[in-house]
Amino acid sequence: MSVAGLSVVGLLVAILGAGVWVGLGLYGVGIGSLLMFKNMPVERLLSQVSWNTLTSTELIALPLFIFMAEILFRTRLSSSLFHGLAPWTTRLPGRLFHINVLGCTLFAAISGSSAATTATVGRITLNELLSRGYDRNLAMGSLAGAGTLGFLIPPSVIMIIYGVLAQISILKLFIAGVIPGLLLAATYMLYLGIRSSLRPEFVGVRIEQASWRQRFAALRHLAPVLFLVLAVMGSMYGGIASPTEAAAVGVFGAFVVSVAQRSLNWETFRAAVMGAARTCSMIGLIIAGAVFLSTAMGFLGIPRFVAEQISAMELGPFQLILLLLVFYGILGCVLEGLSSIVMTLSITLPLVTAAGFDPIWFGVFLVLVVEMAQITPPVGFNLFVIQGLTGESIGRIARAAFPFFLIMITFTLLIAIYPEIVMFLPNTVVLRG
């Protein structure tokens, strides 16, 4: 590696290892590298890059979707999801285990956040499953795996950030995530069904099977979620609203749901505002710092050097994807997923597009590797969320989530072999407006 590249890596390890905030650390690495190797007005470049990045109109959707998720987290949607879905799972192998997957799938379609999805659904499902005698490890593992769907099923915070950085259509990214998200959820349910059939003792006390009348009656509990899905996703795919406008529609819909459920008061509103402000500030700092670092690496010629070295290896497209899967898997063990993407995108995106992969496909690939990072110790955020819900050790939760981690790896390789799984809808759906 070049001297500049080694210096960047060394600075990054030293600064982040010292416990500096990731966003500030990225700024520090970029500034230090330019001061060492370039004679240029770093402060002018820093201000220009930061302003251009954080004033992007597409990023407006980000705080709105986060605010919507914060509002919904403080409603009774978790209870509504459980009571609306439970009657529909009584005849399935694994029974109530499937509520973790189905609940996360539905909530993911309105939240855009993996952590919010895991926390909201798990807040009631874990207690219900454990109190009914369901296997503790499978309950925690299925929630950890299914919670990651919050990043894959649109609207997705990660997809918004990737779309802004890669300068591609966010709406097409959203559409591309639909089929992979539903297929991954179905794969989780298939695993739960097979595992429960092989180990019947994992499934708790048998509950009375619901009649069709009871099932359809239970759908009223899902009305708030379906209303929000229709409002947000329907307005986007119907050409009525852009992703940013749909995010505003979602915030309004979340207020309607919270008022209807009588869960909105001054305390919950203040908590939602402060939670959204903290999350947006953290993400904004990481994005700005990573874009500045990427710009600095461009001035130092690091992306070109790395691309030349990888090109010299003469890897085939699938071999390149395998290399990136291992690379991001290792990175996910020490860095939060968002940070690893925005730090490396300037290097990896040109490599992947040169290998013949579509940037939209690569966006879905990156979302999947971020999902893996969400359940990978020691920094997997979903693991910490479940630890807060159960009090179990991170090690036990990680072991419980490991089968779902393997499912995600297999699924990622599947979309690399058959990229049309991702690209079918973006290539066939005609967007209006």
Q: pLDDT grade, residue 206 (50/70/90)?
A: low
Instruction: Output the CA–CA distances (angstroms, integers) from residue 122 to 9, 46, 155, 304, 320, in the order listed.
Output: 38, 41, 20, 45, 36
Place of tokens 């459980």: 82
pLDDT band per the 50, 70, 90 thresholds, residue 406: very high
Cβ–Cβ < 8 Å for 374, 114 = yes
* Burial 119-134, CB ≥16 within 10 A → b, else e: bbbbbbbbebbeeeeb
Question: What b-and-e string marks burial along 144-156, b requiring 16 or more CB atoms within 10 Å of the CB?
Answer: bbbbbbbbbbbbb
Q: What is the pTM of this model?
A: 0.83
Average pLDDT over residues 171-195: 94
Confidence of residue 433 (pLDDT cuts 50, 70, 90): very low
Query: Could you say which DSSP state residue 57 is in?
Result: G
Query: Other CB atoms closer than 10 Å to residue 367's CB: what's the count?
Result: 26
pLDDT value of position 207: 65
pLDDT digits (tens, 9 = 90+) for 331-387: 777 666 777 788 788 888 988 998 889 999 999 999 998 888 888 876 677 888 888
Reported confidence tier of residue 208, pLDDT bands at 50, 70, 90: low
Task: Determine the 3-state secondary structure of 125 from DSSP.
Answer: helix
Measured in degrees and rounded to the nearest 5, phi and psi for residue 377 equal -70, 155
Cis-peptide, bond into residue 155, ω within 30° of zero: yes
Lookup result for tokens 């910490």: 384
Question: In this predicted structure, what is the pLDDT of residue 378?
Answer: 66
- Helix H, strand E, coil C: the string for 58-106 is HHHHHHHHHHHHHHHHCCCHHHHHHHHHHHHHCCCCCCCHHHHHHHHHH
pLDDT at 143: 93
* Reported confidence tier of residue 237, pLDDT bands at 50, 70, 90: confident
Please provide the average confidence, as pLDDT, over all residues in the chain.
85
Q: What's the whole-number mean pLDDT along residues 9-37? A: 81
3-state secondary structure 247-303: HHHHHHHHHHHHHHCCCCCHHHHHHHHHHHHHHHHHHHHHHHHHHHHHHHHHHHCHH
Quick one: pLDDT band at residue 205, thresholds 50, 70, 90?
A: low
From the DSSP assignment, how many helices (H) and strands (E) are in the chain?
23, 0
> Distance (Å, rounded) from C-alpha 107 to C-alpha 101?
10
Query: What secondary structure does DSSP assign to 158-194, as a single string?
Result: HHHHHHHHHT--HHHHHHHTHHHHHHHHHHHHHHHHH
Question: What's the CA dihedral at 338, 343, 346, 352 to 10 degrees?
Answer: -60
pLDDT band of 65, cuts 50, 70, 90: confident
Q: Percent of the chain beyond pLDDT 90?
A: 22
pLDDT confidence of residue 145: 92
Q: Which residue has the tokens 């982040």?
A: 16
pLDDT digits (tens, 9 = 90+) for 142-160: 999 999 898 888 888 889 8
Domain residue ranges of the chain, discontinuous segments joined by +: 3-428
Rounded to whole angstroms, how far apart are CA atoms 368 and 325? 10
At 19 the pLDDT is 73
- How would residue 165 be classed by pLDDT, with cut points 50, 70 and 90? confident
Better pLDDT: 15 or 271: 271
Mean pLDDT score, 211-219: 83
List, for residues 259-315, the tens digit of each pLDDT value: 888 888 888 889 989 988 888 888 888 888 878 887 888 788 877 777 777 777 878
